[in-house]
Amino acid sequence: MVRRSGRTGPAEAMWQASRLDYAAMTPLRDDGRTIHASGRPDRGQEAGHGLDPQTVRAEFLALDQTVHGHPLVYLDNAATALKPRCVIEAVTRMYARDCANVHRGVHMLSQRATDAYEQARESVGSFINAESAAEVVFVRGTTEAINLVAQAWAIEHIGPGDQILITGLEHHANIVPWQMVCKQVGAELVAAPVDDTGAVPLAEIQARISKRTRLVAIAHVSNVLGTVLPVRAIADLAHASGALVLVDGAQAVPHMAVDVRALGCDFYTFSGHKLYGPTGIGVLWARRDILASMSLYQGGGGMIQSVTLDRTLYRDEPYRFEAGTPHIAGAVGLRAAIEYVGTIGFEAISAHERDLLAYATARLGEVAGLRLIGTAGDKTGVLSFTIESVHPHDIGTVVDTRGVAIRTGHHCAQPLMERFAVPAMARASLALYNTRSDIDALIDALLVVEEMFG
């Protein structure tokens, strides 16, 4: 279950009153029909006691459509997840009723907006078990969070001859910023290799950590293969050599409970849009002492105490990293997404997705010439594959004609493509609203591909 902040003061009461008021509203869909916010169906199960897919699916309005004459089957969740009704409502209400800037106004709308924004920060802190909400910095997404650490921490703490350690399965967002840092300061980027199953053996990481290592930057879960890395064990190795650890958690937070203190990492990053929240909002978590040691990333309004023409005094963290008007509605939508996931619980979500992964893995074996890439023992619901003599883009195009949405290409992980000697892969990725029927539709579509190109 998601941990709640426990705040019970006037601001929380005002927020709850606002939610009740909003429940009576009927915002419009883009086709002109209304979304009835009242009478929202029960999600069918207590958190941790199972997941009712049909009840869940009713909350995701995007699934109520056809594509090329077929019911939509959405299997592109690793790229972005669909949004439940409560997230859409929260964002709509923010713009419809509480549209004001934060931290700057004494009028009621500004106070409500500020409270909603800061309640979102507290919700995120509880969600990842941060020691304090002050350790939560709102950014545009995982990419900006990693770049913030690169430019506000790494260039101050990494120098000539030092090393940054990554793995061979990283997303470009966890490669390119470190290449930039190494070029800036004269450091070296080192990568631990990926084995044939798509795992990164702990021994390979251990062999590459030395006294020269200043930072270990790893994915919690691979966006291409679904591989889950042993973050705690890696963090222990890194800390024993005096290095800090950054975790790209973009692909982890939708599928498993994340406890940053239990993981032992120093930085944790993720994006809202993969967690059923809005695009353009993300999180950097870092220990408070580390945030305090970081240099400034951007300058502007919102992050200052006072400015003269001679000097500027800055606010404490996290605000000094949030220059300018933030994505207020995005943060509010992210809070709604976190609360939504909390009503279901990760025990139920994980069990459901494990069942789908096993079912899909077995059924993909029915497609002639299909090569499943990524068979690590610990992985989430990501299935990347190729079909002999068929370009992945052709696979994606054909299955789309059957209403099935998958991702094709290099998935912003070109070094991993090189490791498996392919130019691209097709990828089906699972979410809590997917069903076995979705897998069946994918297999039927792939059999069409087989027939067309076989």
DSSP characters for 317-375? TTGGG--SS--HHHHHHHHHHHHHHHHH-HHHHHHHHHHHHHHHHHHHTTSTTEEEE--
What integer best gives the mean pLDDT of the chain? 90
Mean pLDDT for the stretch of residues 202-206: 98
The confidence band for 303, taking pLDDT boundaries of 50, 70 and 90, is confident
Which neighbouring-strand residues pair with 244?
215
Q: How far apart are CA 69 and CA 64, in angstroms?
A: 12
Which member of 86, 99, 265, 412 is catalytic?
Answer: 412
The β-bridge relationship of strands 425-429 and 163-167 is unpaired
Tell me what pLDDT residue 50 has: 76
Q: Which two tokens stand for residue 151?
A: 């430019």
The β-bridge relationship of strands 163-167 and 213-219 is parallel
Mean pLDDT for the stretch of residues 376-389: 97
Q: What is the pLDDT of residues 215-271, one digit of tens each?
A: 999 999 999 999 999 999 999 999 999 999 999 999 999 999 999 999 999 999 999
The confidence band for 16, taking pLDDT boundaries of 50, 70 and 90, is very low
In degrees, rounded to 5, the angle at the alpha carbon of residue 83 between the alpha carbons of residues 43 and 272 is 115
The confidence band for 134, taking pLDDT boundaries of 50, 70 and 90, is very high
User: For domain 142-271, which architecture applies?
Assistant: 3-Layer(aba) Sandwich (3.40)
Class of domain 346-453: alpha beta
Mean pLDDT for the stretch of residues 155-163: 97
Task: Tell me how far the alpha carbon of residue 211 is from its chain's centroid.
Answer: 31
Q: Which two tokens stand for residue 28?
A: 């419009």
Name the more confident of 4 and 257: 257
Q: Which two tokens stand for residue 46?
A: 């207590």
Q: Where are the domains of the chain?
A: 142-271, 346-453
Residue 30 pLDDT > 70, yes or no? no
Residue 200 pLDDT > 90, yes or no? yes
Mean pLDDT for the stretch of residues 24-36: 32
Residue 291 in contact with residue 283, Cβ under 8 Å?
no
- With a pLDDT cut of 90, the percent of the chain lying above it is 84
The confidence band for 314, taking pLDDT boundaries of 50, 70 and 90, is confident
Residue 450: what are its φ and ψ, rounded to 5°? -60, -45
- Which H or E run contains 125? helix 108-127
Name the more confident of 19 and 93: 93
Beta strands (DSSP E) in 181-321 are 188-192, 213-219, 244-248, 267-271, 282-286, 304-307, 312-314
Q: Is 265 a catalytic residue?
A: no
Q: Under 8 Å CB-to-CB from 249, ≥6 apart: which residues?
A: 142, 220, 221, 258, 268, 269, 270
Tell me what pLDDT residue 304 has: 83
Residue 294 backbone zone (phi > 0: left; psi -120 to 50: alpha; other: beta): beta
Q: How many residues does the chain have?
A: 454
Residue 161 in contact with residue 212, Cβ under 8 Å?
yes
Tell me what pLDDT residue 450 has: 94
Residue 44 backbone zone (phi > 0: left; psi -120 to 50: alpha; other: beta): left
From first CA to last CA, the distance across the chain in angstroms is 47
Q: How far apart are CA 108 and CA 328, in angstroms?
A: 16
Mean pLDDT for the stretch of residues 386-414: 98
Domains 142-271 and 346-453 share a fold: no
Q: How far apart are CA 29 and CA 33, in angstroms?
A: 5
* Residue bearing tokens 């997230």: 87
* Residue bearing tokens 């579509």: 445
Tell me what pLDDT residue 7 has: 40
Tell me what pLDDT residue 20 has: 32
Q: Which amino acid is at 284?
A: L
Residue 35 pLDDT > 70, yes or no? no
Question: If DSSP states are collapsed to H, E and C, what string results for 249-281?
Answer: CCCCCCCCCCCHHHHCCCEEEEECHHHCCCCCC
406 by Cβ neighbours in 10 Å (0-12 / 13-18 / 19+) ranks as buried
Residue 181 pLDDT > 50, yes or no? yes
Q: Which two tokens stand for residue 24?
A: 């009576």
